[in-house]
């Protein structure tokens, strides 16, 4: 898998639900519906929007934030895309390329 999708839905009572999905590709529908799309192959933010507000597109800061909630998923995405990470909850996530050969 290559991409991490995060979608937020606001319920009538004001509560916000978060849905997390991983995928191999980004579809047009995803670009329209998903709030946050992270590309773990290129280590970049494809989309970051929260309630119509654009969020700064700093891949490492966004990953660091979500790491506290989805650590296993994020580590798996880094590993499947050829990166090893060193993660310290006090510091930013630091991916290091591995030798694919």
Phi, psi (rounded to 5 degrees) for 71? -55, -45
pLDDT tens, N- to C-terminus, the chain (101 residues): 999 999 999 899 999 999 999 999 999 999 999 999 999 999 999 999 887 777 788 999 999 999 999 999 999 999 999 998 766 655 555 555 555 44
Model pTM score: 0.81
Give strand pairing partners of 55. Answer: none
User: How many domains does the chain fold into?
Assistant: 1
Query: d(Cα 19, Cα 40) in Å, to the nearest integer?
Result: 18
Domain assignment of residue 7, given as a range: 3-97
DSSP result, 10-70: E-TTS-EEEEEEEESS--HHHHHH-SEEEETTTTEEEEEEETTEEPP--HHHHHHHHHHHH
């Amino acid at each position: 898998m290559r991409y991490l999708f995060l979608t937020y839905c606001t319920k009538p009572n004001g509560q916000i639900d978060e849905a997390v999905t991983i995928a191999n590709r980004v579809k047009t529908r995803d670009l329209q519906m998903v709030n946050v799309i992270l590309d773990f192959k290129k280590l970049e933010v494809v989309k970051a929007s929260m309630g119509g507000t654009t969020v700064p597109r700093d891949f490492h800061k966004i990953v660091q934030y979500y790491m506290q909630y989805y650590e296993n998923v994020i580590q798996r995405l880094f590993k499947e895309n050829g990166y090893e990470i060193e993660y310290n909850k006090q510091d930013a996530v630091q991916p290091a390329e591995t030798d694919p050969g």
